[in-house]
Amino acid sequence: MLASTLQKSLLAAATVLSFLPGMIKVAQAQSTSDLFGAIAYSHSTGVYTSVTGSSRQQAERSAFYNCQQQSRANDCSVPLWFKNAWGALAVGSNGAYGTGWGYDTNHPKKGRTIAGRYAVQTCQKYGGINCRVIFTTEARYQVIDNGTVLVPANQQVY
């Protein structure tokens, strides 16, 4: 009887342990899921908004909606979406603007500089004079302490 109970217990433990690697992979996949960001901009009012979400469509729609609500203008557009990266908006003194995104897998904070550089270059490409970055935001998951947390809080307004 004792041998039978011990055998059943060992079989149950082996079954549970066989599921463990799969459960770990699922947890890892969830903690490294993609995070999308979008920047919306109203040229006439200068209002810009940014949203992060679990899909490109969600981020774009929400950024567009927020831009319309805040600007009360009909010219909001979403010139930039990005995934697991930094996004930036640059505006020139003549009203031209440009966006850019960037990331650096080894040094994630450098993505902000890369995004800003591309935003300025794009602004200049479209005739911008004295283009400067006015906004950056990050869309990526960060592991903090014992959990995965969405971190769009690294927004910088200049």
pLDDT-derived band at 126 (thresholds 50, 70, 90) equals: very high
Q: The tokens of 134 are what?
A: 């006015």
Question: pLDDT tens digit string along 22-51?
Answer: 444 444 444 458 999 999 999 999 999 999
| 116 φ, ψ (degrees, to nearest 5) | -60, -40
CA distance 46 to 60: 18
CA distance 76 to 74: 6
What is the Cα 135 distance to its own chain's centre?
Answer: 14
Asked whether the whole model's pTM tops 0.75, one would answer: no
Token match 């992979």: residue?
Answer: 25
CA distance 123 to 92: 7
CA distance 135 to 49: 9
How many CA within 13 A on the CB side of residue 40? 27
- Report which secondary-structure segment, H or E, holds 39: strand 36-42
Question: pLDDT tens digit string along 88-118?
Answer: 999 999 999 999 999 988 888 899 999 999 9
Identify whether the C-beta of residue 87 lies closer than 8 Å to the C-beta of residue 39: yes
| 87 three-state secondary structure | strand
Residue 65: burial class (beta carbons within 10 Å; 0-12, 13-18, 19+): middle
